[in-house]
Chains A and B, each alone.
Chain A
Amino acid sequence: METLNQLAHGFSVAFTPVNLMWCLLGTTLGTAIGVLPGLGPALTIALLLPITYQVAPEASFILFAGIYYGAMYGGSTTSILLNTPGESATIVTALEGNRMARSGRGGAALATSAIGSFVAGTIGTLGVAFLAPIVVKFALAFGPAEYFSLMVLAFITVSAVLGSSSVRGLTSLFAGFVIGMIGVDLQTGQPRFTFGMGELLDGVDVIIVAVGLFAVGETLYMASRRYAGKDEIVPLKGSLYMTAAEWGRSWKAWLRGAAIGFPIGAMPAGGAEIPTFLSYAIEKKLSKHKEEFGTVGAIEGVAGPEAANNASAAGVLVPMLTLGLPTSATAAIMLSAFQSYGINPGPLLLTTQANLVWGLIASLFIANVILVILNLPLIGLWVRLLKIPAPQLYAGILVFATVGTYGISQSPIDLVILYLLGAAGFLMRRFDFPTAPVIIGMILGPLAETQFRRAMTISNGDWSVFYTHKLSLTLLTLAFIGLAGPHIWAFIEHRRRRGPENVPGDA
């Protein structure tokens, strides 16, 4: 009851004309920067930090919250239309979303991602308002051993995206590991695979890899077969928005995505990428339209991950508002904005700055509504992009990818890496190696490695931590069931159907 009162009070803070204006400005700006690869919410907020000298704290946090949520919406647009993810959290969206766009259902893909973002964002924000203290307790129980076991589980589930050939899929996955290792090793401070280049010390940005493999690789592939076939881009087919069948396939995926995204987002080392992988894998497993995955594009594969990434964005706010823990780059910058007002974010924030915190939470609800209103009409405009003839469209994608990559750190080396990866992406496409596992390996590999080594440092080399911690054991058991379960089940089914007397050598 008290929460409701405080939330009502929060709405009274957020519902002033000036603050609504800030919210509208933030969401618009957020959508715009989400669309551009390279410019992310963290950077935009960092560059807008000087505004904190000029406006009231409530106003600037409402602006920042709008940017944060807006970027999560905008990031999916380019993933779907151009196969060029604007944020690392929308890389998975490109897998099915772009296939849908190319088979004439781009409008539906954009709609399910916008509405799914709204649904999951709202669920996530409700979670922040009502469940924060409980969720944060659960999140803190995750130590390095638990994270490593979670990674094991993630590896097992994402084997779903390895494609038809395990050998090719695993090759791609290991290529991702190698790219992920580049840079200074966090545990020892020593450089790995940097070849003495200072620019490589911080590693290769995952956005560059995704844009290189997906967008540049695709463009080269298209260019190479231009004379061999007709244009692949099919203009809009059927309704602009979603059909009844597509609604039916989307809503469960939204809810599942939100349920995966929120708790993982709230974990200090959870992030937004892992829930999108998990959601994608689960949707693929549960879907009745498996044949659409990777061919014409399955709407569940867009709806689930999009919901997951928006719910995880809300989850990140849980440790930030309850404990003052920044668990993403954007949260860290928002915390430094608190400091420029002389407010020290910490466990007491909710009590000492109730006005500000509840105003912020209320503005998140408002931002969600504004975003869905802002984005749905834009879909009609966005899909027109697909009517551009292929040569011009792909040239545009190349320019867009190049500018965006340069924008990440104004480093010419990044452009060289982009085109090398583009060439690699072209060859992979040509010889039928899946590119998605590279990204997954690159994100999960180093995370798993770091958490494993941390767990071993803390336990002083004792392996038992992975099975004596209850949470860790549970996760490993789930992973084992995921790996062996289908085989055991198939074996039992087989025996039951044929009867033991028919199994050769078993009589």
Chain B
Amino acid sequence: MLNRRKFLTSTAAAGAAGFAALHFTPAFAQDAPQIQIFVPAAPGGGWDQTARTIDQVLRSEKLISGSQITNVGGAGGTVGLPQFVNQWNGKGNSLMVAGMVMVGAIIANKSANNLTEVTPIARLTGEFEALVVPAASPFKTAADFVAALKADPTKVPVAGGSAGGSDHILFGLIAKTAGVPATNLSYVPFAGGGEALSALLGNQVAAGISGYGEFAEQVKAGALRLLAISADKRQDGIDAPTLKEAGIDVELFNWRGVFAPPGVSDADKAAMVTLIETMAKSEAWATECKNRNWTQILLTGDDYAKFLTEDTARIAAILKDLGLA
């Protein structure tokens, strides 16, 4: 989804408040709270869909009476973040949807604000990435790909999402593990959702890296060959090894989670963690995740904060190697 989301970030965002109030189900019990969700991206992308799905599930489970969604898009979330930090400070009933893309964007854009300023509530979902090649490619396994990369990285152009995004980061990590200097890599970034895919289908590049969902249908139809996925373990219904099984010690989820603003009380924070945990364990949430190919990787409160610190350090290191930070 990265490509699609990055692409949409650049599309216009308007009249959000007016239209967002267009709910198609009546409000539920009055005693349930009302919440506000801040989306630092334009409507339609991955974070926006996460926000709208959270809203939908919370309401259908009668955990909230309704929610208001605000979109402030731009630059991988770094335009919206300062607004959430400054103007939403202390609002205990508010959530921001963000994810790994924002961690990378903060580093690459040298943003003045970062995610240590907001209050981590929960990591909700993740999308693992896929390494694919065109059906006609000589590479049959991930090992073939790595061998070619070791031989001459400039001869292996790889297509993916925007420079410094999760696809580029994964490519950097794979190369690093294989002992190939990141600066020699031939990475071809694409912005438009279908553009990277069309470069692969047209045999313009040697391989592609993006969210599994982006390639899944092409793999099923036999137009692309799936070499490996970046998940932690084998996935049901996906006939490919993980990168680790293929001998490349890399694991990566393009994760999405929710944050409360800075300065919320401990009680508000605890209540929000409980609310999101209840939602994440519901049947309705499981169904939505399944429909959208989101892997549930729930992690809440302090564990989430700890994960965030580690992931930020890992991303910062690889972006530095890639010459982007």
State the A residues within 8 Å of B (CB).
Answer: 38-40, 42-51, 53-54, 139-144, 184-191, 198-199, 201-203, 205, 207, 268-269, 319-320, 323-329, 331-333, 335-336, 339-342, 344-349, 406-411, 454, 457-458, 460
> Known interface pairs A198-B74, A198-B75, A324-B217. Does A50 touch B52 (Cβ–Cβ under 8 Å)?
yes
Q: Are B12 and A187 in contact (CB under 8 A)?
A: no
A205 lies within 8 A of B12 (CB): yes
Closest beta carbon of chain A to B73's beta carbon, Å: 6
* B: interface residue count bin: 35 or more
With contacts A268-B197, A269-B195, A336-B49 known, what are 4 further pairs, Cβ within 8 A?
Answer: A43-B15, A339-B292, A344-B217, A409-B14
Please name all residues of chain B whose beta carbon is closer than 8 Å to the beta carbon of A344 when the two chains form the complex.
213, 216-217, 293
Using known A-B contacts A42-B44, A142-B202, A269-B195, determine if residue A54 contacts B24 with beta carbons closer than 8 Å: yes
Q: How far is it, in angstroms, between the C-alpha of A269 and the C-alpha of B202 when the chains are bound?
A: 13
Query: Within 8 Å of chain A (Cβ to Cβ): is B298?
Result: no
- Contact indicator B191/A332 (Cβ below 8 Å): no
Instruction: Let me know if B13 and A43 touch, CB within 8 A.
Output: yes
Question: Among the listed A336, A349, A457, which residue makes an inter-chain contact with B186, where contact means beta carbons less than 8 Å apart?
Answer: A457
**In the complex, are the beta carbons of B44 and A46 less than 8 A apart?**
yes
Given the interface pairs A198-B74, A339-B292, A407-B15, the reply to whether A332 lies near B186 with Cβ below 8 Å is no
Contacts of B75 in A (CB 8 A): 184, 198, 201-202
User: Does A335 contact B4, Cβ atoms closer than 8 Å?
Assistant: yes
Confirm or deny: B265 has a beta carbon within 8 angstroms of a beta carbon on chain A.
no
Q: Are B11 and A39 in contact (CB under 8 A)?
A: no
Contact A40 B11 (CB under 8 A): yes
| Given A43-B11, A46-B43: A201 and B221 interface contact (C-beta under 8 Å) | no
Asked whether, in the complex, the Cβ of A51 is within 8 Å of the Cβ of B204, the reply is: no
State whether the Cβ of B218 lies closer than 8 Å to any Cβ in chain A.
yes
How far is it, in angstroms, between the C-alpha of A345 and the C-alpha of B216 when the chains are bound? 10
Cβ–Cβ < 8 Å partners of B324 in chain A: 188-190
Pick from A39, A203, A333: contact of B10, CB below 8 A.
A203
Q: Does B137 contact A (CB under 8 A)?
A: no
Instruction: Write the B41-82 contact mask toward A (1 if CB under 8 angstroms, else 0).
Output: 011100011001000100000000000000011110011001
Does B35 sit within 8 A of A, measured CB to CB? no
Q: A38-B14, A327-B194 are in contact. Are A460 and B155 (CB under 8 A)?
A: yes
In the bound complex, how far is the Cα of B202 from the Cα of A141, in angstroms?
Answer: 6
B164 proximal to A (CB < 8 A): yes
Q: Are A324 and B109 touching (Cβ within 8 A)? A: no
Q: How far is the CB of B52 from chain A (nearest CB, A)?
A: 6
Q: SS class of chain B's interface: helix, strand, loop or mixed?
A: loop
Tell whether, in the assembled complex, residue B14 and residue A268 are in contact, meaning their CB atoms are under 8 Å apart: no
Q: Is B141 located at the chain interface by the 8 A CB criterion?
A: no
| Given A143-B204, A460-B154: A189 and B217 interface contact (C-beta under 8 Å) | no
Which residues of A have CB within 8 Å of B79? Answer: 198-199, 201-202
Q: Mark B280-291, 1 if CB is under 8 A from A, else 0.
A: 000000000011
Kindly supply a per-residue 1/0 record for chain B positions 174-206, scoring 1 wherever the CB is within 8 Å of any chain A CB and 0 otherwise.
000000000000111101111101110110110
Asked whether A346 lies within 8 Å of B220 as measured between CB atoms, the reply is: yes
Cβ of B20 under 8 Å from chain A: yes
Do A340 and B194 form a contact, CB below 8 Å, given A201-B78, A346-B216? no
Query: Is B246's beta carbon under 8 Å from chain A?
Result: no
CA gap between A263 and B199 in the complex, in Å:
17
Which 3 pairs of residues, A with B, have the shortest CB-CB distance?
A346-B217, A325-B194, A46-B44
CA distance A319 to B192 in the complex (A): 13
Q: List 23 A-B contacts (CB under 8 A).
A: A39-B12, A43-B12, A48-B19, A50-B22, A50-B56, A139-B198, A140-B198, A143-B204, A184-B162, A186-B162, A187-B189, A201-B78, A201-B79, A201-B109, A205-B12, A268-B197, A319-B194, A329-B11, A347-B221, A408-B13, A409-B74, A411-B74, A458-B188
Asked whether B253 is an interface residue with its Cβ less than 8 Å from the other chain, the reply is: no
Encode contact with A along B223-239: 1 for CB under 8 Å, 0 otherwise.
Answer: 10000000000000000
Say yes or no: is B16 at the interface (Cβ < 8 Å to chain A): yes
Residues of B near A324 (CB, < 8 A) are 217-218
